[in-house]
């Protein structure tokens, strides 16, 4: 008897689902370079052969040209883009997209009027490429003086401000970011542009013998505004566990490794700053330490019975971004900008050091202390912000289940998809390991159905991901073998029919 004809399963009832599952699996586990198109592969090959700098610089100049065209439309004076090369040559671009390269100061003086169409008295505003600031800074001195300079980083242009030998980028009016390191600058710019919500900003008052825990959400006053949270300072590191994703603001005076705070009745106590920052890192809390010489705590009262509050706090809570928040906390009456320096430690935490003119020592500190005593207004002299880094925030946002690394979740889902691909094989293996439930073994229908549900959950959530990869490979091999053997089976079946 001839073997009955069997059609391969590649286009059967499970075929479309298996093909889709394979596609999802490949997209989930393949690295980014494997999904690049042909143009990306050609560019990558060019980078390996020494064309990386050329391609990157050409892309930066094109982006600069597009920004110059947009910026020129909103300004009355001339605007030029400028990009430095490693050799010290400068390429200038006008709003029409025309480009000229100068190799020395004489050539610059000739080509700039040509590109702007103006006389030498009307100095153009220069928009510099990011490499001109972060990689070829030594060539900045060769630029002619201009009305204004800014640097294009990504899609945003930051005005440049010089203070002595240091060069800063102005993130907001009065908020300057150091430009000594590109990675630190990008992190600082990201953090300062990060949006804030009023409910996420918690002002903490360090009160000895105060509450030992914090509410998960801030308490609201009769006017709907968040109230200051009292907390025992020595319980604060543990209490931060309920504030994941929020911003905690602590007020005190930092002396070395200690955070000093004043008691309502007089005298000071200290808290180890490292314990506080470590707890903030552990619980993914953004911690801002406002430094003030008086070290008084908000919500308490001075000896003149003035209620202590932080100057600019109410205005700061209404601001949209972290930069606006810190700017409002510093006060609008200052005459010197805030400087922001960023660093990233081994734990992935970003530290922003924000500094103002020193009011913490000598006569300035005494005046600030007397001001806080008489008016009850705490004046900040600077701040240190310990923030969840951009990479860490991205990791937290990728998680479907909090507390489990996204790589494990993605790997689990990939194995589950592989199990769906190899579902026929996985089901055969499962039935050998755990045979079907028999209705006669249970006294009632409820117990029987409950056992079936538990079995199904164990199969889908545990067994299927566990055997997903080998089951997918084995099922694919069988499907491929059936597909290759299909023509020969058709021929055999036709010969059998002809003999009959």
350 has a pLDDT exceeding 70: yes
Is 342 in contact with 180 (CB distance < 8 Å)? no
Q: Specify whether the CB–CB gap between 251 and 213 falls below 8 A.
A: no
Which of the pair, 178 or 9, is modelled with greater confidence? 178
> Please, which residues have CB within 8 angstroms of residue 166's CB and are 6 or more apart in sequence?
178, 180
Strands 79-84 and 125-129: parallel
CB 269 within 8 A of CB 208: yes
The whole-number pLDDT of residue 43 equals 39
Q: Tell me the mean pLDDT in the region 102-109.
A: 85
Indicate the DSSP class of residue 265: T
HSE toward the beta carbon, residue 419, CA cutoff 13 A: 21
**How many whole angstroms separate alpha carbon 482 and alpha carbon 6?**
9
The per-residue pLDDT for range 26-43, each reduced to its tens digit, is 555 454 443 333 333 333
The reported pLDDT for the residue numbered 314 is: 57
The pLDDT value recorded for residue 201 is 85
Q: Give the closest residue to 147 by CA, choosing from 176, 168, 120, 165.
A: 120
Residues paired with 79 in a beta bridge: 125
The predicted pLDDT at position 142 comes to 86
Mean pLDDT value of segment 20-25: 53
CA distances from 477 to 17, 282, 349, 377, 471 (A): 17, 47, 48, 75, 10
Residue 120 DSSP symbol: T
The per-residue pLDDT of the chain, averaged, comes to 78
Q: How far apart are CA 209 and CA 45, in angstroms?
A: 65
CA distances from 28 to 14, 18, 112, 410, 469 (A): 21, 15, 51, 7, 14
Percent of the chain predicted with pLDDT > 90: 20
pLDDT at position 287 is: 93
Q: Residue 5: what pLDDT?
A: 42
Give the residue among 238, 207, 202 at the shortest CA–CA distance from 220: 202
How many other CB atoms sit within 10 Å of the CB of residue 489? 17
Annotated domain spans of the chain: 9-20+400-499, 38-163, 198-398
Do 189 and 171 meet the contact criterion of CB atoms below 8 Å apart?
A: yes
Give pLDDT tens digits for 265-316: 778 899 999 999 999 999 999 999 988 887 888 865 443 334 445 555 555 5
Q: Is residue 233 over pLDDT 80?
A: yes
State residue 315's pLDDT score.
Answer: 59
What DSSP state is assigned to residue 220?
B
Is 163 or 359 the better-scoring residue by pLDDT?
163
Using DSSP's 3-state secondary structure scheme, residue 347 falls into coil
447 vs 303, residue with greater confidence: 447
């Amino acid at each position: 008897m001839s073997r009955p004809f069997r059609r391969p399963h590649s286009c059967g009832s499970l075929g479309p689902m298996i093909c889709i599952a394979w596609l999802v699996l490949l997209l989930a586990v393949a690295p980014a370079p494997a999904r690049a198109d042909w143009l990306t592969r050609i560019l990558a090959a060019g980078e390996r052969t020494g064309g990386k700098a050329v391609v990157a610089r050409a892309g930066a100049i094109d982006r600069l040209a597009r920004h110059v065209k947009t910026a020129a439309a909103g300004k009355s004076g001339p605007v030029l883009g400028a990009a430095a090369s490693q050799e010290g040559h400068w390429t200038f671009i006008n709003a029409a997209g025309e480009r000229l390269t100068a190799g020395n100061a004489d050539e610059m003086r000739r080509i700039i009027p040509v590109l702007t169409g103006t006389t030498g008295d009307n100095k153009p505003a220069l928009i510099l490429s990011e490499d001109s600031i972060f990689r070829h800074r030594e060539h900045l001195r060769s630029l002619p003086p201009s009305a204004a300079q800014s640097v294009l980083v990504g899609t945003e242009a930051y005005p440049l401000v010089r203070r002595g030998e240091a060069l800063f980028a102005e993130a907001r009016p009065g908020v300057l970011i150091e430009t000594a390191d590109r990675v630190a600058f990008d992190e600082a710019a990201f953090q300062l542009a990060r949006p804030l919500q009023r409910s996420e900003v918690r002002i903490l008052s360090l009160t000895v013998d105060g509450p030992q825990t914090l509410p998960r959400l801030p308490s609201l006053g009769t006017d709907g505004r968040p109230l200051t949270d009292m907390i025992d300072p020595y319980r604060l590191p543990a209490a931060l566990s309920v504030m994941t994703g929020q911003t905690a603001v602590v007020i005190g005076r930092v002396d070395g490794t200690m955070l000093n705070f004043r008691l309502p009745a007089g005298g000071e106590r200290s808290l180890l700053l490292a314990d506080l920052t470590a707890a903030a890192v552990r619980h993914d809390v953004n911690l801002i330490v406002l430094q003030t010489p008086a070290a008084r705590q908000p919500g308490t009262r001075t000896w003149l019975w003035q209620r202590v509050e932080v100057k600019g706090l109410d205005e700061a809570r209404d601001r949209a971004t972290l930069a606006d928040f810190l700017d409002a906390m510093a006060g609008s009456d200052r005459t010197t900008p805030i400087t922001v320096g960023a660093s990233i430690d081994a734990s992935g935490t970003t530290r922003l050091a924000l500094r103002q003119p020193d009011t913490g020592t000598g006569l300035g500190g005494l005046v600030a202390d007397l001001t806080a005593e008489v008016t009850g207004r705490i004046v900040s002299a600077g701040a240190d912000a310990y923030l969840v880094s951009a990479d860490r925030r991205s990791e937290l946002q990728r998680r479907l289940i909090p507390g489990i690394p996204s790589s494990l979740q993605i790997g689990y889902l990939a194995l589950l998809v592989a199990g769906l691909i190899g579902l026929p094989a996985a089901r055969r293996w499962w039935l050998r390991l755990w045979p079907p439930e028999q209705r006669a073994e249970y006294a009632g229908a409820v117990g029987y159905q409950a056992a079936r549900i538990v079995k199904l959950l164990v199969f889908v959530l545990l067994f299927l991901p566990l055997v997903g990869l080998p089951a997918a490979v084995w099922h694919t091999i069988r499907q491929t073998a059936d597909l290759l053997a299909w023509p020969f089976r058709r021929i055999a079946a036709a010969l059998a029919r002809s003999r009959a």
